[in-house]
A and B are shown apart, each in its own frame.
Chain A
């Protein structure tokens, strides 16, 4: 049983053993819609068959010589009424399937979301957001489309295949032969066609993908192309890609051109006609029967043409269901550890021979030990990929160590109650995420009850007050998708304000990818400096000034501690470190 960090009491259970069971367990909640859709599908096909039968009757009626107009009108009326009823039933089928699809989209997306909320930070840090997004939007939508138009048309047209089989014997038993043979040949040729088409379509799609990706890259890097004067080489490259797509496109065209069910439909029409006129010549059936039977066979037209599209829609939907289920079922290693150690953190952090390796994580760590007293600041320095971020994330259990121990206040973080631990650790990531809410709501995100005065005080401490007031709506300014766009430095200061408000004992700050925003540089550095006062702070940084005032500096290289100590110690013991400052020293004066 998977452990989750978040669960919803009222969520109904679904069967997650495999995609088919999963979909069925969801559909099971809408039995009435299924019944309506199925009745609609059968009724629609059955009533569609009424038309050729009535036309046949009309022929027989007129031929019989004792016809009168009222009798003919009666037949016409039957057609009108049956087709109106058919419309209602077809609407039931369409809308029933549509509702099932929409409800499943809603329910499954909700279930997926709850499951995502329940997953550990480890999961979310390893799982690319783009991929999760794709599953929460596109894949969930595919399941919807699998019902309508997918299954709606598969079942709808399936009933059309059935009707000639059911009705033909009532005209003459022998007439069962043509629809029967057609069905067998149809099923076989369609299976063959789909099997042939799949690799060709796949090849076309990937050829298009290659062409498009490379093209987008070239156009984005056009300055480099022009600077290097490689227009001719790029043109040759693109032409090669475009030609490959052309080949794949033509191959698909050739497979589609051979669509055998179309031939079968023509042959079935001919066979039905031959069979019925032979029976007529033998005096076994009437003219009206011939007309009705030929009309009945034309019902095969609908399944012949929609089959293609409908079947692939269903298989796409099942593939999506499998992807969603895979995400929901993926194990999450961390749990809340309710009942673990809880209490105020003082801020002492110790790493004891820590090792970490994760297949998806960027870098491993090896044999890492250091100790931070409450209130101290450590600057973590190193090249990208040296393990700085990973190290910081072990403190709030974003990841768990593979070897050794991380201790907060002398207690292994794995023995802390997760909620209690995280509530006292604030983490400001490289890419500060803001919700599409007002600035004050974003600052108060970690403390929903905070009053305006507290929020403003936090903003002032984070050097954010001034720029916030510069917006028209001040603290009520909306940010994000539907509001103002903030610069990296502004976002960072809002995150700092968040941290001031929650007043954590431990602050983890990733400052490594911020860009030089000279105009506000001084303010940001000041805000960070203030935030570090009075709490244990881990700061991942490239800024020499921050390295300079930290109590300790950890220099990481490929997951190992290359050097550690205070600035003065490193100047004495680490040549690479000294070189950096020497360079500045040379230029000084």
Chain B
């Protein structure tokens, strides 16, 4: 459930010493020191003015017991007005300043967290769910910053309570122990209640997550139920879950509904004791009326701070661990490290893997792997899942760090290049094409904003006379929606190929999509691919027969090693691993299969009938 999301630990999490954490946090607040000092002063004023009110009334009550007040004493009322205004004004100043300081700290934290995140390499993102990274950048920074507001709130309440208690102690020490005797009682009571409430709430949340999942299914399943006319059955299921949800919530509701009534009854008991004990002391002539009044009022002033303090610690802890999570994200060590930042002129596109070793975690994926790709050569990598195809592509893209050997681009160590300049000469199309919200043109120009829409349009028309543009409702100005959701898979594929085409990369890395695409779009994708292959060194992780055949060289991988290479016809004739891969992955795409499959199946079925076996 989202309620607990973000609390999960990640492998890059670390524990900071309290002093380090404080120093780190201090660094973010230091630029706003003046605002913070003013805010603290405002809190002091608020607390003093808030505490002054009962003192003023107590002083007046004291005088009234001996007769009418002198005109001078009437000014006490004026003071009380003043206190009311002061509390409001100080609160105004505090809220305003703390909102500004908190807003700025949040901004700085988010900027740092974001910069650090995009700076991490792909090994980081493949290990950590993107949703969690996002929640650290947005929610955790917010939670941390909000704790500051919370702290100032609670501090001002506690301060106010302390002033009242201190005043009471000065005015009449005899009564103070009575008041203090209440504190632990309130504290432990609220702590206990909180525990019970947390338990029922957690149980409620868990049950609700369950119920929500079932309701989700019941709602999603309506269409299926209607297709089969099973509405009655699905309703009964829903009704049972709905009733269960009600029961759980009522149980939880009762516990929560009882909290304040119980506290109020307890407060009544406390007040009664203070009224009686205080009155008794007054009767015995031990204390004054004013002290009695203050004594009774003080209960109100200590009651809420103590209630809040019991919750305070866990909230502060929550804020601190949020800070810890954000700092851990910022401090996570990048795995990909460049040794130098040499400038990168226009690349020829020669790639050499020289005895490269690589592992993601423990299992080695590549060991002593060597491969040479000539400039402009188009190489298709084939093999079963886990054979190392995408690893090779990712190492060329410098998304991951390899552990042994060397990779040379045009004869230069890949680690010595300026990474940004190098990547600008790569054209990479991931298996699931990713578009950003915006128009098709925006996406095509993503890596090269300087390219004009006119150029984009002319390039787009080079693919099958631009027929595919006509299928977009607004042509190249069509909004693609979040993550490109409004376009079909095939269209997204075309847009990301066009993006690469605009880039004019020296090296083209394609992880081909596995989605089925309608044959017309598929045809155009192949045309676009052809345009790119002409110009760049291409590394193709091929899933389509036509792509494999378009390559100059097919490299057959098994368990991180090259076991065969050559062209399609030659490899088929060898009858080795490639021939085997072909019959698993590519045969269905061949014309032979397309033409003959049903006849084969019917033949099978007939045969099966004859021999009495299942096909």
Contacts and interface: CB of A to CB of B under 8 A. Distances in A.
A547 B261 CA distance: 72
Interface in A482-527: 502, 511-519, 521-522, 525-526
Interface in A221-264: 221-235, 238-239, 242-243, 245-247, 249-250, 252-254, 256-259, 262-263
B130 A216 contact: yes
B226 to A, nearest CB: 6
A27 B185 CA distance: 40
Given A62-B283, A114-B235, A287-B61, A270 B68 contact: no
Interface in B61-80: 61, 64-65, 68-69, 73-74, 76-78, 80
Interface in A91-105: 91, 94-95, 98-99, 101-103, 105
Contact of A277 (B64, B214, B221): B64
A460 B514 contact: no
A383 to B, nearest CB: 5
Nearest to A242: B110
Nearest to A445: B228
Interface stretch (B14-22, B158-166, B252-260, B371-379): B252-260
Contacts of A386: 471
Given A58-B275, A270-B81, A257 B96 contact: yes
B245 A583 contact: no
A133 to B, nearest CB: 5
Contact of B268 (A79, A542, A548): A79
Contact of A481 (B60, B117, B213, B488): B213
Contacts of A256: 95, 99
A69 B283 contact: yes
Contacts of B256: 94, 98
B191 interface: no
A333 to B, nearest CB: 14
Interface in B472-499: 473, 482-483, 487-491, 496, 499
Contacts of B273: 76
Contacts of B300: 298
Nearest to B226: A121
A588 B232 CA distance: 55
A58 B214 CA distance: 59
A460 B434 CA distance: 39
B220 interface: yes
Given A133-B219, A148-B253, A228-B446, A281 B275 contact: no
Contact of A513 (B138, B265, B489): B489
B447 A518 contact: no
Given A86-B268, A223-B122, A105 B592 contact: no
A525 B597 contact: yes
A197 interface: no
Contacts of A109: 215, 242
Nearest to B62: A287
Given A86-B268, A212-B138, A217-B436, A239 B111 contact: yes
Interface residues of B, number: 174
Contacts of A133: 215-216, 219-220
Contacts of A136: 215, 219
A129 B219 contact: yes
A383 B521 contact: yes
Given A219-B130, A257-B95, A277-B74, A436 B217 contact: yes
Interface in B295-312: 296, 300
A225 B428 CA distance: 10
A474 B292 CA distance: 79
- Listed residue (B78, B258, B271) with the most chain A CB atoms within 10 angstroms of its CB: B271
Contact of B80 (A213, A258, A270, A516): A270
A386 B430 CA distance: 26
A2 to B, nearest CB: 16
Contacts of A258: 92
Interface in A195-221: 208, 211-221
Contacts of B358: none
Interface stretch (B3-11, B193-201, B419-427): B419-427
A547 B594 CA distance: 9
Nearest to A224: B434
A216 B134 contact: yes
A253 B74 contact: no
Contacts of A580: 519-520, 522-523
Contact of A83 (B91, B267, B503, B588): B267
A419 B74 contact: no
Contacts of A242: 106-107, 110-111, 114
A87 B515 contact: no
B591 interface: yes
Nearest to A532: B598
Contact of A274 (B77, B121, B134): B77
Interface string B200-227: 0000000000001111111111111111
B537 interface: no
Given A117-B231, A273-B60, A291-B293, A227 B80 contact: no
Contact of B275 (A55, A94, A101): A55
Contacts of A76: 272-273, 275-276
B37 interface: no
Contacts, number: 477
Contact of A270 (B84, B110, B137, B216): B84
B488 A384 contact: yes
B179 to A, nearest CB: 16
Contact of A99 (B64, B232, B253, B275): B253
Contacts of B134: 212, 215-216, 219
Interface in A409-437: 419, 422-423, 426-427, 429, 433, 435-436
Given A129-B219, A216-B131, A518-B588, A266 B260 contact: no
A242 B138 CA distance: 9
Contacts of A383: 468, 471, 488, 490, 518, 520-521
B87 interface: yes
Contact of B260 (A80, A90, A526, A558): A90
Contact of B246 (A94, A102, A221, A481): A102
Contacts of B84: 263, 265-267, 269-270
Given A269-B80, A518-B588, A73 B276 contact: yes
A223 B430 contact: yes
A544 interface: yes
A529 B598 contact: yes
Nearest to A54: B275
B219 A246 contact: no
B262 A87 contact: yes
Nearest to A208: B138
A224 B519 contact: no
- Listed residue (B213, B250, B261, B491) with the most chain A CB atoms within 10 angstroms of its CB: B261
Contacts of A519: 584
Interface in A1-50: 5-6, 8, 48
B517 interface: yes
Interface in B553-594: 584-585, 588-594
Contacts of A423: 228-229
Interface in A559-589: 576, 579-581, 583-585, 587-588
Contacts of B426: 227
B315 interface: no
A514 B516 contact: yes
Contact of A125 (B223, B242, B279, B584): B223
- Listed residue (A58, A258, A283) with the most chain B CB atoms within 10 angstroms of its CB: A58
B103 A246 contact: yes
Pairs A-B, 6 closest by C-beta atoms: A266-B84, A83-B268, A253-B99, A384-B488, A228-B447, A227-B428
13 contacts: A5-B231, A62-B282, A76-B273, A94-B256, A106-B242, A137-B215, A214-B437, A226-B122, A231-B118, A253-B103, A445-B224, A558-B471, A580-B520
Given A117-B231, A215-B134, A266-B85, 6 more contacts: A224-B428, A384-B471, A422-B229, A433-B220, A542-B518, A547-B519
